[in-house]
Homo-oligomer: A and B are copies of this chain.
């Protein structure tokens, strides 16, 4: 076991750091959080910048224009961009980290040639049309229908949790192409160009009031059969392929932010007074913050174990589910503690005077989503128990 970086890894880091130091100060200011079109432009600008510097598609194979970096180099990339306060992947997320990797493994040469460079260059934004109102944890029960009609599929149904559906150019979609077979076997994976007739994209407001997600309604929307990726009715397998692309780096940026946020909370506690004394004088509060920081450090160590495992085997394995379970819970503890400390100031989502309310209240709400999105904690526990410990399936 060795947590130190190799010389090669260190020079990768140094070059990246040097480049970031030059480019970050030249970036324009970030658009307003609700200006989705402005943010699209900003995010694609950053992707283009990365592309031009040779840093686009850090985890993509070299033959498809990526950097072919190891998971450890990916970790370093995320550490350095976070350290430099570089823009996040933002609206490029689905293309770079989900649809793109799927296309790399499963798409036809023509599909790859058309789509992959456009994703890397920040020319195309992708969104995801997987979840449905009736298909959440049980995704394979999805019912959005695609009926073959000549060279087209005709799609009718509804998708939900489509992030950036209103700004995307393409949508990776799972549709039901055969309703008469067991649910996993009648699904196909399609590339849908957005803005087709018959589509209605409506913003879905989250509990925080933001609208990065959409609901998409389909009324006989036509998509060429040529836009299918993989065989007809083999879409479930195609979709699962992407899971194997996760190399332990999914939460690196978040973890770095959370560790900083927890340490900021300690500083905040030292500034805040309570009954005439510093809030930090409270031994219980100190222990709570100490415990959270120590547990975050432990999760950081687990992150590195997961990355090392991916580096060796190509797969994260159990560590990924374990990480998510532990992280969702810990992030909730941090958020609850912060809101408690902020007391009445936590009743504003935006900063209150000099108090960094937004980071903590947003963080608390974000923590609620961590136990739900991409597999609820209940589903994660099932996976850990069944796939890792080998306990019998529910039924």
* Residues of chain A at the chain B interface (Cβ within 8 Å): 281-285, 287-288, 395
Contacts and interface: CB of A to CB of B under 8 A. Distances in A.
Contacts of A283: 281-285
Main secondary structure of the interface of A (DSSP, over half): helix
Nearest to A287: B284
Contacts of A285: 283-284
A129 to B, nearest CB: 32
Contacts of A284: 282-285, 287-288
A283 B285 CA distance: 8
Contacts of A288: 284
Contacts of A395: 395
A395 B288 CA distance: 41
Contacts of A281: 283
Which of A282, A283, A285, A287 neighbours the largest number of chain B CB atoms within 10 Å of its CB?
A283
A381 to B, nearest CB: 14
Nearest to A288: B284
A283 B284 CA distance: 6
11 contacts: A281-B283, A282-B283, A282-B284, A283-B283, A283-B284, A283-B285, A284-B284, A284-B285, A284-B287, A284-B288, A395-B395
A273 to B, nearest CB: 14
A269 to B, nearest CB: 13
A287 B284 CA distance: 8
A283 B282 CA distance: 6
A316 to B, nearest CB: 31
Contacts of A287: 284
A296 B154 CA distance: 63
Nearest to A395: B395
A281 B287 CA distance: 14
A346 to B, nearest CB: 19
Nearest to A283: B282
Given A281-B283, A282-B283, A284-B285, 8 more contacts: A282-B284, A283-B283, A283-B284, A283-B285, A284-B284, A284-B287, A284-B288, A395-B395
A288 B281 CA distance: 17
A281 B283 CA distance: 9
A395 B393 CA distance: 14
A181 to B, nearest CB: 26
Nearest to A286: B284
A99 B317 CA distance: 54
A288 B283 CA distance: 12
A285 B282 CA distance: 10
Contacts of A282: 283-284
Which of A282, A284, A285, A288 neighbours the largest number of chain B CB atoms within 10 Å of its CB?
A284
A395 B281 CA distance: 53
